[in-house]
Amino acid sequence: GDSVTQMEGPVTLSEEAFLTINCTYTATGYPSLFWYVQYPGEGLQLLLKATKADDKGSNKGFEATYRKETTSFHLEKGSVQVSDSAVYFCALSVSNTGNQFYFGTGTSLTVIP
């Protein structure tokens, strides 16, 4: 079945460090891939997305590339800030399953000054 596996946390980094959060997926069709971010006390919001192989999603300095050959969609940021502290969720959506979304388990990131 369709699923997402993402790196377990929690992750603690110093400000300006490089961030990678790994995400791999299994899908029967042609999924769209997403990263969502959840700041403390808030709902999830879309961070970036990619709808086909080799697409790169980017937003707020974060990037992720849809790699079909490795079934991955790793999230990266070159220099994290304290304000990036949040929980990050990798997700996929396959339209032939009634627009079902599959989420990873979430990775908690804390950035310390």
Partner 1 sequence: DTAVSQTPKYLVTQMGNDKSIKCEQNLGHDTMYWYKQDSKKFLKIMFSYNNKELIINETVPNRFSPKSPDKAHLNLHINSLELGDSAVYFCASSPFPGTAGTGELFFGEGSRLTVL
Residues in touch with partner 1 (CB under 8 A): 32, 34, 36, 38, 42-46, 49, 51, 87, 89, 91, 93, 95, 98-101, 103, 105-106, 108
55-66 core/surface letters (b: 16 or more CB in 10 A; e: else): eebeeeebbbbb
Q: Decide whether 86 or 111 has the Cβ nearer to partner 1.
A: 86
Q: Decide whether 99 or 113 has the Cβ nearer to partner 1.
A: 99
Q: How far is the CB of 16 from partner 1 (least distance, A)?
A: 26
Say which residues have a Cβ less than 8 Å from residue 38's Cβ, sequence separation at least 6: 44, 45, 86, 87, 88, 89, 106
Q: How far is the CB of 108 from partner 1 (least distance, A)?
A: 7
